[in-house]
Amino acid sequence: MADAPKEEAALLAKLKQELKSKKTFVAACGQLAKICEDEEAAKGLEEEGKTAFTVLQTRFSNPKFWQAGLELFLALEFAGVAPAAKWRDAALEASDGSIQRRAEGPTEGSPESSMWLK
């Protein structure tokens, strides 16, 4: 039983390292999001969320990475990790700015605005 915390710490260290590589980032985010299903475990993942967000801001611009980060940030936010809402907003914008624009509603002259005028 005493080995369980060591194994968990080793897994988190491995996943945190995997967040720093394009080859393993998406899978690491998925594994961390899965860990978030256990709300107590999720509360200990703030550091990993911060690492993912920093890596996204500084090194990865492709929307597929931001989408993977978004899923992690949503899981963290659901579990009550405080800074996750800020990370989620940035990931939402970066993963697909059109999602944010659609959430704000149609703008004058957009195809969607003519739909509302009918």
Segments making up each domain of the chain, as ranges:
21-106
pTM of the entire predicted model = 0.76
> pLDDT in tens for each of the 118 residues of the chain?
456 678 888 999 999 999 999 999 999 999 999 999 998 888 889 999 999 999 999 998 889 999 999 999 999 999 998 899 999 999 998 877 555 555 555 556 555 545 444 4
What is the pLDDT, as a whole number, of residue 105?
55
What is the pLDDT, as a whole number, of residue 94?
87
Q: What is the rounded CA–CA span in Å between residue 11 and residue 24?
A: 14
